[in-house]
A = this chain, B = another copy of it.
Amino acid sequence: MNRGTRWRPSSGRERGAAISDLTAQRLSIYLRCLDDLQKAGVRTVSSQSLADRFQLNSAQIRKDLACFGEFGIRGVGYVVADLRENLTRILGLTRNRNVAILGAGNLGMALADYGGFNREGFRIVALFDKDRRKIGRVSRGGVPILDVRRLAEVVRRERVSIAVLAVPAEAAQPLFDRAARAGIKAVLNFAPTRLKGRSGVTLKVVDLKIQLENLAFHLARAEGP
């Protein structure tokens, strides 16, 4: 990448090269670390010292960052404030994102009030459910529970781009399709089922059941035959 002609870091706009999902996830980790460093008053940081914090290779960090431009200073490292700003922009955290949570059960309600989801850059607009008894109420944190039939309307009016699916497995696929039709562009699926995605909608899965079973698998192996 960027072979031959020098690349203008000032352009602030990376090429459309495909970025691996793993790289993208690490960018979030770097950003989190840079937040801490900035709070601690650290001015510059090297890829090596970043790598030491998590168990990562310094070359990997440099490669990840190099995908988007030349942010480092040879012989010095990266300027914390600058890199932080760049990563924030690259991750698309400068503009605010509105989020809808589909399913006002235990998990949905908890996610609506969960601090980690209300981080700067994200705003939980509403919970949606089909249960009459829940509609009209609010979560403990004050997020309103709306009728799922109003989804398309709210998505359009509030410019919701992200949906979090927190419903039982059976309800997941139809709701996903409904959300996609409503104009949702990214979905985080907590339902324990494999969804059939569609182009134009990014789909990520957090399958708690599989994670737990995975732990059981490792335990079984560790305990031996």
Contacts and interface: CB of A to CB of B under 8 A. Distances in A.
Nearest to A186: B215
Interface in A193-222: 193-194, 196, 200, 202, 204, 206-222
Interface stretch (A19-27, A70-78, A130-138, A149-157): A19-27
Contact of A116 (B25, B31, B204, B208): B208
A53 B194 CA distance: 8
A119 interface: yes
Interface stretch (A40-48, A58-66, A106-114, A172-180): A106-114
Given A188-B212, A202-B219, A219-B92, A113 B119 contact: no
Given A106-B109, A187-B215, A188-B212, 20 more contacts: A28-B207, A28-B210, A32-B192, A32-B193, A32-B209, A53-B194, A54-B194, A55-B196, A107-B114, A109-B110, A115-B168, A116-B208, A119-B209, A161-B219, A162-B216, A185-B222, A202-B219, A204-B215, A206-B206, A206-B208
Nearest to A220: B92
Contact of A110 (B106, B115, B218): B106
Contacts of A122: 212, 216
A211 to B, nearest CB: 5
Given A114-B208, A194-B53, A214 B162 contact: no
Interface residues of A, number: 67
A97 B216 contact: yes
A93 interface: yes
B214 A206 contact: no
12 contacts: A16-B221, A32-B209, A91-B220, A92-B217, A92-B221, A97-B219, A106-B114, A111-B208, A162-B216, A186-B215, A188-B211, A204-B211
